[in-house]
């Protein structure tokens, strides 16, 4: 098996295209191999696997976990499709406050690497979606943070004008009011 690793507009965020072997029965795809990812500069350890199910038009995010247990995430859609976004929160980064987004789907099988120091969010484009993701640190509720999804300073080009949001996500601060811990 093999992988193609593409550094997108913010080079620390990587789109991974696993090779699929298919025939009339379906396909087989290797989603993660530590040695291949390490050779591309994506190093674990990955210590927790998560599964999130969301209905149509649901927007989750933009979330991150603060240091000293900041999480890197390997995101993969196993059902449906989403528009997935990463926002650079690293104050010393030349891309601080910039975002990158791409469509991920079960059909494409692509995986997105979002390193620590980024906020993550997505909106469901299909009738529903299931996302599976590996993280580099265990979840710590006391370090759970976020930034507002519709912050005008970020100007994220979400593909839906009227997403379904949680009360928590509606109450998150804009980037200018966030004391970035990165």
Catalytic residue among 37, 76, 120, 133: 133
Structure tokens at 130: 């299931």
Residues present in the chain in total: 182
* Whether 63 is catalytic: yes
**Geometric angle at alpha carbon 91, from 86 and 92, rounded to 5°:** 110
Helix (H) or strand (E) holding 17: strand 14-18
3-state secondary structure of 114: strand
**Residues 103 and 83 sit within 8 Å (Cβ to Cβ):** yes
Q: Of 123, 152, 136, nearest to 69 (Cα)?
A: 136
Catalytic residue among 32, 37, 63, 69: 63
* Whether 37 is catalytic: no
Distance (Å, whole) CA 182 – CA 162:
31
Catalytic positions, written as ranges: 63, 133
């Amino acid at each position: 098996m093999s992988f193609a690793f593409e550094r997108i507009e913010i080079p620390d965020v990587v789109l991974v295209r696993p090779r699929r072997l298919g025939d009339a029965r379906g396909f087989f795809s290797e989603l993660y191999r530590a040695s291949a990812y390490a050779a591309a500069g994506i190093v674990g350890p990955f210590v927790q696997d998560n599964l999130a199910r969301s209905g149509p038009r649901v927007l989750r995010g933009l979330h991150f976990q603060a240091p000293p247990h900041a999480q890197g995430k390997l995101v993969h859609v196993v059902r449906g499709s989403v528009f997935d976004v990463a926002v650079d929160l690293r104050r010393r980064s030349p891309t601080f406050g910039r975002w990158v987004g791409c469509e991920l789907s079960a059909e494409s099988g692509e995986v997105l690497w979002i390193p620590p120091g980024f906020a993550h969010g997505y909106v469901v484009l299909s009738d529903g979606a299931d996302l599976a993701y590996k993280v580099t640190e265990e979840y710590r509720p006391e370090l759970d943070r976020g930034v507002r999804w519709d912050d005008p300073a970020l100007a994220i080009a979400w593909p839906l004008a009227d997403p379904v949001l949680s009360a928590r996500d509606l109450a998150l601060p804009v980037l200018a009011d966030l004391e970035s811990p990165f």
